[in-house]
Amino acid sequence: MNTTRRTVLKGATASGVLAGLIAAGALRPTQVLASEWNKAAFEAKDTAGALKGIGAAAPADSKDLVLKVPDIAENGAVVPVDVVSNIPKTTSIAILVEKNPSPLCAQFEFSNGALPEASARIKMGQTSMVKAVAKADGKFYTAQKEVKVTVGGCGG
C-alpha cells in the first residue's frame, strides 16, 4: 500500500497543494484524480438518453471509426469489443449496446500520447446493435454493428 501511495504522490507533484492534501489524508488519490462518474449517461435507459448524457445527441456516421465486434458472440456475458478511431483529434471513445437495459458501457478519454483506441469486454442481454461514439475536435461521430447473441451448450 505504501509504495502505491508514494507512486501516486509522485505523479501528482505537479500540484504541490494536491499532493499535500493527499498526504494529509484529506483526499484519496483515486477520488481526486479520476473524473466524476457520469450518472445520468450510465443510468439512461435508452440509447438516446445515453448519447445525450455524454453530450453526443446526434453523432454523425463515420467510416473512420472502426468498430470490431463478432458477428455472433460465443457468450453474451463476454463480448469482445475493439474500437479504433482514425478521425483526427479524437479525444474520447464510448461504447454502447442499444438493447441493454442501460446502453452505455464505457467511455474513455485519452491524453498524453494515448492512441484513440480501446478494447473491452462487455455483456449483452440479447442480439443488438453495438455502437461506438468518438469525440474529435469537439464533434461526435459514430459507427455501429449488430452482434448476435447465441445460446450455448453445457459445461464446455
Partner 1 sequence: MADPMKIRAQLKGDVAEIRVLMSHAMETGQRKDAAGATVPAHFIQSMTIDVGGKRVVDGQVGGSVSRNPVFGFKMKGAKAGDKVVVSWIDNKGEKRTDEAAVA
Partner 2 sequence: MKQNIIGALCALAVMGGASAQSPKKPVAKPSTKAAAAPAAEEKDAATLEFEKFRAEMEESNPAELFEMKGQEQWKAKRGPKNVSLAESCDLGQGVGKVEGAYVKMPRYFADADAVMDAERRIVWCMVEKQGFKFDDIAKQPFANETFTPDITNLVTYVATHSRNMKIAVPLDDPKVRDAYEVGKEIAAYRAGPYDFSCNTCHGTDGKRIRMQNLPNLSTPAGAIKGVQGWPGYRMTGGVMLTHQWRMGDCFRQQRFPQPKYASDAVAYLLTYMIGTANGQVYKGPGIKR
Distance CA 117, CA 133 (A): 11
Task: Calculate the alpha carbon distances from 15 to 30, 63, 74 in Å.
Answer: 15, 41, 47
Q: Is 113 one of the binding residues for partner 2 (CB under 8 A)?
A: no
At closest approach, how far in Å is the CB of 99 from partner 2?
19
At closest approach, how far in Å is the CB of 101 from partner 1?
6
Distance CA 99, CA 82 (A): 19
Q: Which is nearer to partner 2, 23 or 72 (CB)?
A: 72
At residue 23, φ and ψ (nearest 5 deg) are -60, -35
Q: Which stretch binds partner 2 (CB under 8 A): 4-12, 43-51, 107-115, 144-152?
A: 144-152
C-alpha cell at 138: 469537439
At closest approach, how far in Å is the CB of 82 from partner 2?
8
Distance CA 7, CA 19 (A): 11
**From 28, 77, 109, 126, residue interacting with partner 2 (rule: CB under 8 A):** 77
Q: Which stretch binds partner 2 (CB under 8 A): 48-56, 78-86, 97-105, 110-118?
A: 78-86
Distance CA 37, CA 29 (A): 15
| Interface with partner 2 (CB under 8 A) | 70-72, 74-75, 77-78, 80, 82, 119, 150-156
